[in-house]
């Protein structure tokens, strides 16, 4: 396991140096030009880094999870299936309302997707706040029981 941590550390360092290089290159090229190439490069690099992070989490985390627990894949598939059901439910419940204050309206599919992302954000934020509140209440009840 020691070798894997060294490899991961050096890969992360290389990606950090490459990211800084791309950022500096975009800064030197200039953000004020109207062609938006510098911004596009930064966006595409961000997409690549997020994709690489997701693939790394899935592959490395999955490999370690399967190595430690043989039922890990079934648990992972259950969680992914549950998440897919929630996302689909939110997608079908999202209205796709017209954007206010815009002369040229985006397509219906763009509006539907935007509403879905907003509703998912609201749902996750609300559940996060609720879980913090419930967690504090449960911790308080447990501490009170242990004090007796």
Residue 69 · residue 59 · CB < 8 Å: no
- Name the one residue in this structure whose structure tokens are 């510098």: 38
pTM summary value: 0.60
Strand positions, DSSP E, 1-148: none
Residues 60-77 have pLDDT tens digits of 888 888 888 888 889 888
Lowest mean per-residue pLDDT among 1-5, 80-84, 92-96: 1-5
**What's the rounded Cα separation, in Å, for the pair 111 and 48?**
25
pLDDT of 138-147, one tens digit each? 999 998 888 7
Number of C-beta neighbours around residue 38 at 10 A: 19
Contact 56, 76 (CB under 8 A): no
Distance CA(12)–CA(2), nearest Å, equals 16
Q: Provide the pLDDT confidence category of residue 1 given band limits of 50, 70 and 90.
A: low
42: tokens are: 């930064």
């Amino acid at each position: 396991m020691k070798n894997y941590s060294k490899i991961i550390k050096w890969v992360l360092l290389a990606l950090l140096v490459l990211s800084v290089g791309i950022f500096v290159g975009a800064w030197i090229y200039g953000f004020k030009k109207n062609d938006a190439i510098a911004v596009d490069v930064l966006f595409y690099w961000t997409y690549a880094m997020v994709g690489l992070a997701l693939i790394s989490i899935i592959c490395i985390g999955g490999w370690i999870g399967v190595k430690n627990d043989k039922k890990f894949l079934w648990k992972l598939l259950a969680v992914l299936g549950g998440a897919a059901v929630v996302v689909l439910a939110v997608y079908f419940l999202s209205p796709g309302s017209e954007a206010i204050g815009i002369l040229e309206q985006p397509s219906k599919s763009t509006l539907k997707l935007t509403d879905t992302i907003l509703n998912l954000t609201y749902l996750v934020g609300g559940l996060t706040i609720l879980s913090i509140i419930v967690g504090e209440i449960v911790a308080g009840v447990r501490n009170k029981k242990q004090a007796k």
